Amino acid sequence: MTAPSTFGLSSEARNLHWLLTNLVEEVPGIQSVAVVSSDGLLLLSSDPAYTVRSREARPAKGPRGSSADLATIVSGIGSLTVGAARLMEFGGVRHTMIAMEEGSLFVMSISDGSLLGVHGSAECDMSVVAYHMALFVGRAGHVLTPELRSELRKSMESESAGSAR
């Protein structure tokens, strides 16, 4: 994983980057992670570079090698499950797990309406991934203020603009 630059970021933003890096490095089978705002914008990613060069360096499996693709998938699944929960009147969605033949996708709500999405390999232990996602959400949820979301968006925009050059 290539860690995004945290130079110039607030301590809260650096802490969230550290939590995300730790999640990916400590949990076996996690291939990529994205934190998406309630309006579908990418806030944090384990793979911030969007260039063709970085896509070629990634494994062939997974969402086309781009955190933007993972963010789009996570946002869509989040929207679909929230709509289903409203229709069924079962309360808010806490998490969604999708098991596929060659991998898994996990989506978990963060307290401010943002979503944590994790793409895991087929070998990952779903309960371990879900546990560590819950830890991340518990630690990140209370600090993900509107100001911090704005800072993270700007950081992701500048990171993708810098890698496109």
159 touches 4 (CB < 8 A): yes
Q: Is residue 105 part of a domain?
A: yes
Lowest mean pLDDT among 23-32, 107-116, 120-129: 107-116
Q: Is residue 82 part of a domain?
A: yes
Q: Is residue 6 part of a domain?
A: no
Q: What is the pLDDT of residue 49?
A: 52
* Mean pLDDT, range 65-78, rounded to an integer: 84
41 touches 72 (CB < 8 A): no
Q: What is the pTM of this model?
A: 0.81
Q: Is residue 57 part of a domain?
A: yes
Q: Is residue 87 part of a domain?
A: yes
CA distance 96 to 80: 11
Q: Is residue 40 part of a domain?
A: yes
pLDDT at 136 over 70: yes
Q: Is residue 115 part of a domain?
A: yes
- Mind spelling out the 3-state secondary structure of the chain? CCCCCCCCCCHHHHHHHHHHHHHHHHCCCEEEEEEECCCCCEEEECCCCCCHHHHHHCCCCCCCCCHHHHHHHHHHHHHHHHHHHHHHCCCCCCEEEEEECCEEEEEEECCCCCEEEEEEECCCCHHHHHHHHHHHHHHHCCCCCHHHHHHHHHHHHHHHHHHHC
CATH number at residue 21: 3.30.450.30
Lowest mean pLDDT among 1-10, 117-126, 153-162: 1-10
CA distance 3 to 19: 12
Supply the range of the domain harboring residue 97: 11-164
CA distance 107 to 23: 14
Q: Is residue 19 part of a domain?
A: yes
Number of domains in the chain: 1
Q: What is the pLDDT of residue 155?
A: 83
pLDDT at 104 over 60: yes
User: Tens of pLDDT along 143-165?
Assistant: 888 888 888 888 887 766 555 54
Strand order in the sheet with 103-109: 42-45, 30-36, 115-121, 103-109, 95-100
